[in-house]
Structure 1
């Protein structure tokens, strides 16, 4: 190891692996982390995180710091050998996760030197998942083993193809380049199957990403669907209600982080009702103070609410500054898991579940409460509802407050996937209007279908046309669609609406 020659370092890795010494694994792990050094007298040391030096040969603390230490160097070939060595030494680890990771490392390295260790581990392994990984590791090394017969290599190709991932495809690509005609044919057949599977998984992954994006659009647009549908108000300050919800989440987290750090995981459940109240109160104040004087004049409401949005942005910028604010993720929203080949992050999954829960609660309010009945009556025929004794001014204020409060709840979710800044709402206002118009003004089911449809379409268009051109294509599609169906996918019904 104490040399500049990569071939000697690779030989040293092989010798350490074969030695069976308990000191081999710490030395190789230190080499992988860039903590293995040698001095001019050929002594080898491991540098600890606290700055102490350990003699790699004895495992004891060094009496003095090494003179002029140099790090043991790596290149790509040595790194592959190192990965295989670490995998071989970890195949017997008591921790199942480490044994599985070690088997995966051997598959990627394809180092024939690891084959005896793999066979020994396979003979003792009882976990089916790890046994499968070990069998694939054995097959990956057998394919390039000179002593293996052609039939054994063909069987190994079939075993490796069972992985169905990019690593297997790369390995089979090497076989197609330098294998015999029979092996090339077997590798090409297996590669074709893997490519079909990866294409299917890629499509399903895009659908999942589209659903998560659609859930975000649903949260951002569902409040706008209520206000726009009931009152016909083009609320350009809707995005700022989302922004207020995000900043409410930031304040809640700052309070818990400084006062009650043990309760940090409860920050989002606490922030949800507070964001609803803050954004809802601002919405009611906006309706009572500005919008109620402008009913029937959509252009004036557009300009007025746009001015209000600028005021809200500048107010937040004055109070919190223009820089992004950090909003952390609770522990239960961190990490990911594999679902039949799809990578599902906990954060995206929680946002999808949260969006569907908000949608279900809002649907319940509209369909099963007196307030919802009155709101639907005003949506279908405002004058008749007023004649029947419904206080439409009060209902307008409460409806606007409800829509703004839901936008605040959306801000809680968006704080987990986007930058919390005064401009947060501007990123979603156009998309929100697209969703509402496409789905049908005032129709919740239309908003749901439109949000998910546009989210999935956007994710499929992005790889082909790019993010900007993809959005432009969707906008052009919606414009053409509205020419054909001016009321959207699910048009509202009622005498006043149809008139």
Structure 2
């Protein structure tokens, strides 16, 4: 009994020590799994705990929760996933999930959504990506800003380096100040908003210009609106210019191969569009064969499409075209028949439905210059790619032995034969080169249009228009005419519509050809007189 009494203080001391030890803190993974379980009150408590964690995955998970893209199953522990477009990835490991079977959306109420947006704004304002920071400031502009948000933006303003984000911060602060009662501060806010292209800035200025009691503020707001409209017109023109050049680059890629076969060899190849189509299907085939190399698929598809369509072009020249030189009508009919054969072959092998070609991440998305001007990466890359293909072909024609022989045969076939040039093989290689470039054009077009058996039909007429307008056999003429037709068509579309714009371009081309039958840059040499 005495021993028990003596041990009681020791037991009490041990119990007190155990009670005083801090509870074990759950790991980030455990807290994320707790987030998708329990009721909404428990979820709000878990969100507060997660904001104490320093983990780069936190922003993506909470953004998905706010937008309704956070998914979870009912396993123990649950699988937590994020829906990003058509793909679903594990929120903790980043692994891509094959399907959303068993996954359900994690619900949030308005109270929790408001809490999340406020805390996420603070996190996103310090994110390393300028795009994420810009989106955070845009959320302040869209949803409204209070005194606490203003303090956060002022603090971020001193550290921000991105001009786009700084402009958005200035707009958000000015939108807060324009609602105040201090007249000088409101006037300063109006002057600040005159340099903003955000839609909310124009709405606020229109409200002041129409409804404010102070005439000086109304006049200042009207001047600010006029300044903004002038800048918007300039950026709209710039955007039209970019998309016109982008359309021109598509026409250039589609026509530059035809400039070789039709312009240099004089062959009316009605199957040129189908060679473009085969290049697009080659891109699809590469992605089917290498599903884990989507990011590299275009770089693999470019040489693959060139080889596939180039070899098919050589076979066409050796098997059909070489028997029809000097007979343009028969050549046209034969190549038209080949185009039908190639279309039906593709339908039989791959089916009549369009095939989906995925775009790598580096060619997806948009380059945001400002709120009214943004350039899509796929169009930008195609513009650069078209120019690269053009100058590479120009280098081949001007600086290589094959190019020298091609120019010799095109300008004077009899003399070229007399000095030992095998014109028959030059014809085959030239046709193969033009066909290979058509395949490369198909790789680019697979990123902006549907890949199907009829893909080439949409570009064959435009390709002939570009070659004829630029001057048969002149590569520089092909470049100038492609860009010119792209710009004219793009600037006409807003006023005339897509179909009527094409008709007007065709009419202008016909009138031009009547005045200059040989195009912008006529071919030189004896062949030009044929």
2 CA distance for matches of 1:137 and 1:23?
Answer: 29
Report Cα offsets for 1:343-390 as digits up to 9, x if no partner.
222222221222111111111111011211111112222233233332
Say whether the 8 Å CA contact 1:118–1:134 is kept in structure 2.
Answer: no
Contact kept in structure 1, 2:279 and 2:440, CA below 8 Å: yes
- Could you say which residue in structure 1 is the equivalent of 2:294? 264
1:384 paired to 2:419: no
Structure 2 counterparts to residues 452-467 of structure 1, below 5 A: 452-467=483-498
Change (3 A) 1:92 1:309: closer
Match of 2:274 in 1: 240
In structure 2, the partner of 1:178 is 211
Shift of 1:131: 5.2
TM-score, with length taken from structure 2: 0.76
Q: Post-superposition shift, 1:468?
A: 0.5
TM superposition shift of 1:400: 0.8
CA offsets, 1:424-465, max 9 Å, x none? Answer: 100110110010001111110000111111111111111111
Deviation track 1:46-73 (CA, whole Å, cap 9, x = no partner) reads x964469xxxxxxxxxxxxxxxxx9868
How many angstroms does 1:34 deviate by?
A: 6.2
Residues 253-301 of structure 1: per-residue CA shift (max 9 Å, x gap): 10001xxx1x332222221112111111111111121122221121111
**Equivalent residues of 1:122, 1:135 under 8 A apart:** no
Q: 1:361 aligned to 2:402? A: no
Work out whether residues 228 and 442 of structure 1, in 8 Å CA contact, stay in contact via their aligned partners in 2. yes
1:31 deviates by: 9.3
SS in 2 for 1:422: coil
Task: Indicate conservation of the 8 Å contact 1:367/1:373, yes or no.
Answer: yes
In the TM superposition, what whole-angstrom CA distance separates every residue of 1:147-194 from its partner, at most 9, and x where no partner exists? x22221111011122223433223222222212322221111111111
Residue 488 of structure 1 aligns to a residue whose secondary structure is coil
Match of 1:133 in 2: 168
Q: CA deviation at 1:127?
A: 1.7
- Once residues 48 and 389 of structure 1 are traced to their aligned partners in structure 2, the CA distance between those partners, rounded to angstroms, is 72
Q: CA separation in 2, counterparts of 1:51 and 1:142? A: 48
Tell me how far apart the structure 2 counterparts of residues 299 and 120 of structure 1 sit (CA, whole Å). 74
Secondary structure of residue in 1 paired with 2:463: helix
Partner of 1:187: 221
Q: 2:357: which partner in 1?
A: 327
Return closer, same or farther for 1:49/1:199 CA change in 2, 3 Å cut-off.
Answer: farther
The answer for unaligned runs of 5 or more in structure 2 is 1-46, 52-58, 76-106
Question: Does the 8 A contact of 1:165 with 1:194 survive in 2?
Answer: no
**What's the offset of the Cα at 1:89?**
6.3
Aligned equivalent of 1:118, options 131, 147, 150: 150
Supply the distance in 1 between the matched residues of 2:436 and 2:152 (Cα, whole angstroms): 62
Task: Tell me what 1:280 maps to.
Answer: 310
Does the Cα contact within 8 Å between 1:91 and 1:103 map onto a contact in 2? no
Q: Name the counterpart of 1:56.
A: none
Deviation per CA, 1:88-129, whole angstroms, max 9, x where unpaired?
A: 862465426555433222223445xx1343135414652244
TM-score normalised by L of structure 1? 0.81
Asked whether the 8 Å contact 1:280–1:402 carries over to 2, the reply is yes
Tell me the equivalent position of 1:168.
201
For residue 348 of structure 2, what is the aligned residue in structure 1?
318
The answer as to whether partners of 2:205 and 2:225 remain within 8 angstroms in 1 is yes
Q: Closer, same or farther in 2 for the Cα pair 1:400/1:158, shift >3 Å?
A: same
> Which residue of 190, 194, 197 maps to 1:157?
190
RMSD in angstroms over aligned alpha carbons? Answer: 3.1
CA 1:89 to 1:395, structure 2 compared with 1: closer, same or farther past 3 Å?
closer
Query: What do residues 281-322 of structure 1 show as CA deviations (whole Å, max 9, x unaligned)?
Result: 111111121122221121111111111100000000000000
Give me the whole-angstrom Cα distance separating, in 2, the residues matched to 1:160 and 1:467. 36
Does the 8 Å CA contact 1:440/1:491 hold for their aligned counterparts?
yes
Structure 1 spans left out of the alignment, 5+ residues: 1-20, 36-46, 53-69
Q: Say if 2:454 is the partner of 1:423.
A: yes
Matched residues in 1 for 2:166 and 2:386: separation? 40
Counterpart in the other structure of 1:4: none
Inter-partner Cα distance in structure 2 for 1:99 and 1:275: 40
CA contact (8 A) 1:91 1:118 kept: no
Per-residue deviation at 1:495? 2.6
Matched, 1:211 2:211: no
Structure 1 match to 2:436: 405
| 2:294–2:358 contact (8 Å) kept in structure 1 | no
Per the alignment, residue 503 of structure 2 pairs with 472
Deviation of 1:204 after TM superposition, in Å, equals 0.7
Query: How many Å separate the matches in 2 of 1:296 and 1:122?
Result: 76
Contact 2:63 2:120 in 1 (8 A): no
Structure 2 residue aligned with 1:343: 374
The equivalent residue for 1:65 is none
Identify the range of structure 1 (183-192 vs 119-128) with the bigger mean alpha-carbon deviation.
Answer: 119-128
Verify: 1:373 aligned to 2:408, yes or no. Answer: no
